[in-house]
Amino acid sequence: MYVAHYQVKPIIFGGETATGGIIENYPGYPDIDGFELMLKFREQVEKYDVPIVDENVAEVAKLADRFEVTTEEGETSRGGSIILGVGRERRTLGLDHETEWMGRGVSDYGTCDAPIHWGSTVAVVGYGDSVVKGAVLLGVHSKKVDIIYCQGSFTRLEPINLAQLDASSNVEPIFNTQVVELLGDDESTGVVPSQEQNGSSKLTLDGVFIEIGADSRVDLPNQLGLDLNDVNEVIVDQAGATKIEGVFAAGDLTDASGDLKQTITAFAQGVIAATSAYAYASEHANSCEIHAMGCNLVEAD
């Protein structure tokens, strides 16, 4: 939207939608689902006739005076500057059948899959605020929700999440426990916990939800040779600029907001990066083309 206001020619690349559950702190949209908010963003962008290419970018290269991006389908585009907003990728447990059974008893997207588990018994595996938020959301639909938690207690939770957990009578934590095996034939029907529960070595479940955080997507930053910090976040300055001239970054991918990975901070960083990219392209590129590139500019906790 901001780049379009400058009457240049942005292109957005991305084939992935936002997640994040219910977002309670985005101004103007109280208690909105992350996916729904993403659609509202997209609708507003489309009003400015900004082309959105629903393909993921596989390669990015710096040419003499341009940047070239190539999608997974082999389509190429060039621009005077680039904004990386590829966010983070959800971690997996690394168990057999975990990927194979995704969508068949295993899920990493509670917002979308919670309603289909109405009246069911499910478990959420993970730690921190993300697992608690996921469990509370599932508790609205499910009969019983177990939180399989590797530590002995909940630490450093946001007060609002702890309060919502306390108010959810059908959500119970199982502390000091990990999942060591997924049970089932062609879909998940339960898990084997690292400790017996109620005298049983198995937990029979209708669904297993994985909430163990995410890692920065660094393939494209590495292709450009960008500097990363010790947790693989792209290092940017106050203008969203990276060490490579013409390359900007925003959102959860960067170190701009530390541990505060929120929708509103990602949005603000995107605005700053867009303004900076326009200024750079205006000065260095004859046609002032700006290619804003990212699978997901918004990934909220």
Q: In tens digits, what is the pLDDT along the chain, a chain of 301 residues?
A: 887 777 778 889 885 555 556 677 789 988 887 778 888 999 998 998 888 888 889 999 999 888 999 999 999 999 889 999 998 888 899 999 998 998 889 988 777 688 888 999 999 999 888 899 999 999 999 999 999 999 999 988 889 999 999 999 999 999 999 999 999 998 899 999 999 888 889 999 999 999 888 888 999 999 999 999 999 999 999 999 999 999 999 999 999 988 788 888 999 999 999 999 988 888 875 544 444 444 333 222 3
Residue 296: what pLDDT? 32
Residue 16: what pLDDT? 56
Which CATH topology does 92-211 take? FAD/NAD(P)-binding domain (3.50.50)
- Nearest 5°: the CA angle 267, 273, 275 is 105
Phi–psi pair at 57, nearest 5 degrees: -85, 130
Residues of the chain with CATH 3.50.50.60: 2-89+214-222+229-272+283-293, 92-211
- Nearest 5°: the CA angle 219, 222, 226 is 135
DSSP labels, 62-119: E-SS-EEEEETTS-EEEESEEEE---EEE-----TTTTTTBTTTEES-HHHHGGGGTT
Cα separation, 96 vs 180, whole angstroms:
10
Partner residues linked to 179 by β-bridges: 193
In the chain, what is the straight-line distance between the N-terminal and C-terminal CA atoms, in Å? Answer: 23
**pTM for this model (two decimals):** 0.74
Cα separation, 86 vs 301, whole angstroms:
15
Q: How far, in whole angstroms, is CA 178 from its chain's centroid?
A: 23
Cα separation, 234 vs 248, whole angstroms:
10
Residue 287: what pLDDT? 44
- Are 21 and 31 in contact by the 8 Å Cβ rule? The answer is no
H or E segment to which residue 192 belongs: strand 188-193
Cα separation, 244 vs 230, whole angstroms:
19
Per CATH, domain 2-89+214-222+229-272+283-293 is 3.40.190.10: no
The one-character DSSP state at 194 is S
162-200: buried (b, 16+ CB within 10 Å) or exposed (e) per residue? Answer: eebbeebeebebbeebebeebbbeeebbbbbbeeeeeee
Cα separation, 263 vs 172, whole angstroms:
28
Question: Which of 255, 260, 256, 266 has the alpha carbon at shortest distance from 231?
Answer: 255
Retrieve residue 46's tokens: 């489309």
